[in-house]
Amino acid sequence: MARPVARTGGNLVTEENGASGSDAWIMGRDGTTAADDKKVQIQGYASKSSVPPGESIDFHISSRVAQTCTVEIYRLGHYGGVGARYLTTGEGVRVSPRPKPEADQVTGLIACDWPVSWTLDVPRTWVSGMFLAVFTSVDGYRGYTPFVVRDTARRSDVLMVVPFTTYQAYNIWPFDGRIGKNLYRGFKADGTPGGNPERAFRVSFDRPYSEAGLPSWFDMDTSAARWAEEAGYDITYASSLDLHEGRVDASRYTAIIFSGHDEYWSKKMRDATEEALAAGTHLAFLGANNIYFHIRVEASEDGRAGRIVTCYKQDPDPEPGEGGATERRRALGRKHRKAEHALLGVQYNGMISKPVPLVVQESKHWFWSGTGLRDGDEIPDLVAVEADGFDPSMPRPEDTEQTLLSKSPYDDSMGRGRRIQNTSLCEDQRGTLVFVAGTFHWPLALSRPENLDPQVRRATRNLMDRMLQPRG
């Protein structure tokens, strides 16, 4: 497929980021205090993970006492370093206490049935991006819920896929010592956190994200988005559910960025990504532990599509579909052919209790150009939380040349011994690239102040510039 010259700079995203930014959404501004799951001072959830301009999205909100609250909408981006832009406010929104549903005794599913509190009609002029709805009560409590404005009508150079299925897998709302569950744990009878015996097999988008409402590792995605918009790339956004539901044609884009912790994938998500790669679309995974668990995305009880994520993991799956049981992908298929390693060239291999340096290798490769790094040089604290590595026993991407750009030793915090982290780049005969950073701190190093690293920024810029070169 022909790939045109990139529209870096002078596009809708650069125009959008020329607007005045605002940090008024940040917790603590104007004396605001974070809501919590026990008292639910003000919390809410959205009816969709994404919405196109010209359509509407509903917000379902609960409060500790009946009152009027405000709902402010912000678009996240660079905006001269401020990080967000205020767009609109729903004032005088009537909210009331709503019940916390009990977990289903078999599957652990927790799904709210709160009425619509406020509806946002998304103007056609809004630019695709990551958005936050900010709920603020009259007594100064604040909660959030994220959503995406997608724009599939515009063929941007880059598509960023935001990992909403993984957000929900980790969402343990309500974290109240009694009801809450996610795909990892729940609560024991004495109110202490449990593990696999207490966890859910199914989790619903019809509930707030826990505590203040920002999903687990949300800052990986916001940091990547702010960096990309600062760099002026022509970028649009979609949720992982858009990829699953086929609302985006992934093969239309020159490059796709998977910006954060993207662990939970359905068969449809994997198929769409592989089809895009076969069509010549580059892939960049900026985190680690990607495409690890196979999931089903299912409808709610009242038939709304894409509202439940199902994953049985090591427990027997009572209804495996065409993609097989909902377990680790590397356990599916003959000879691990469905493993993430077969697409990515690396795979999750451990957890890190304390950040360690990323140790550079292949420093003469174009990826490291301009960084000043040499083989054996270390980028401090870049390998953190979870790591990917190359496994010679696993299938590799076919007909590709693979370069391992780092070789970083670390001790697995789960007691599984000494491991090696690898940042990987695979290139096929047409020049199509698959990049995997292999650590959680890579996207944070792009723009989050406490993690900012100029060498990571330069290397990632090298990667994107290479991906956006025109090809016949």
What is the rounded distance in angstroms from the CA atom of residue 354 to the CA atom of residue 364? 29
Verify cis geometry, omega within 30 degrees of 0, for the bond prior to 443. no
Cα angle for residues 111, 182, 25 (degrees, 5° grid): 80
Q: Which pLDDT band, with edges at 50, 70 and 90, does 471 fall under?
A: confident
Using alpha carbons only, how large is the chain's radius of gyration in Å?
22
What pLDDT was estimated at residue 333?
79
Q: How large is the average pLDDT for residues 418-439?
A: 97
Other CB atoms within a 10 A radius of the CB of residue 225 amount to 28
Query: Do the Cβ atoms of 310 and 299 come closer than 8 Å?
Result: no
Tell me whether strands 293-298 and 282-285 are parallel, antiparallel or unpaired. Answer: unpaired
Q: Give the residue among 91, 89, 98, 140 at the shortest CA–CA distance from 116.
A: 98
What pLDDT was estimated at residue 179?
97
Long-range contacts of 443-446 (CB under 8 A, 24+ apart): 443/220, 443/221, 443/223, 443/224, 443/227, 443/259, 443/260, 443/286, 443/287, 444/219, 444/220, 444/223, 445/379, 445/382, 446/223, 446/224, 446/226, 446/227, 446/286
CATH architecture designation of domain 12-248+293-327 = Sandwich (2.60)
The pLDDT of residue 380 is above 70: yes
% of the chain surpassing 90 pLDDT: 95
Could you give the C-alpha distances from 220 to 224, 288, 307, 425, in angstroms and in order? 6, 11, 23, 20
Is the pTM above the cut of 0.95? yes
Q: Which pLDDT band, with edges at 50, 70 and 90, does 472 fall under?
A: low
Tell me whether strands 42-46 and 235-239 are parallel, antiparallel or unpaired. Answer: unpaired
What is the rounded distance in angstroms from the CA atom of residue 352 to the CA atom of residue 77? 30
pLDDT in tens, 110-126: 999 999 999 999 999 99
Query: Do the Cβ atoms of 327 and 317 come closer than 8 Å?
Result: yes
Specify the DSSP class assigned to residue 48: -
What pLDDT was estimated at residue 52?
98
Helices (H), 418-468: 441-447, 454-467
Specify the DSSP class assigned to residue 26: S
Per-chain mean pLDDT for the chain: 96
Q: Which pLDDT band, with edges at 50, 70 and 90, does 48 fall under?
A: very high
Tell me whether strands 293-298 and 308-310 are parallel, antiparallel or unpaired. Answer: antiparallel
What is the rounded distance in angstroms from the CA atom of residue 412 to the CA atom of residue 184? 19
pLDDT in tens, 349-360: 999 999 999 999
pLDDT in tens, 49-70: 999 999 999 999 999 999 999 9
Decide: residue 56, CB within 10 A, 0-12 exposed, 13-18 middle, 19+ buried.
Answer: exposed
Q: Which pLDDT band, with edges at 50, 70 and 90, does 43 fall under?
A: very high
What pLDDT was estimated at residue 4?
79
Query: Do the Cβ atoms of 202 and 310 come closer than 8 Å?
Result: yes
At residue 143, φ and ψ (nearest 5 deg) are: -140, 165
What is the rounded distance in angstroms from the CA atom of residue 448 to the CA atom of residue 303? 40
What pLDDT was estimated at residue 57?
98
With tokens 């809004």, the residue in question is 126
What pLDDT was estimated at residue 336?
85
At residue 29, φ and ψ (nearest 5 deg) are: -65, 140
Q: Which pLDDT band, with edges at 50, 70 and 90, does 5 fall under?
A: confident
pLDDT in tens, 239-266: 999 999 999 999 999 999 999 999 999 9
Query: Do the Cβ atoms of 286 and 258 come closer than 8 Å?
Result: yes
The pLDDT of residue 370 is above 80: yes
pLDDT in tens, 124-151: 999 999 999 999 999 999 999 999 999 9
Q: How large is the average pLDDT for residues 160-187?
A: 98
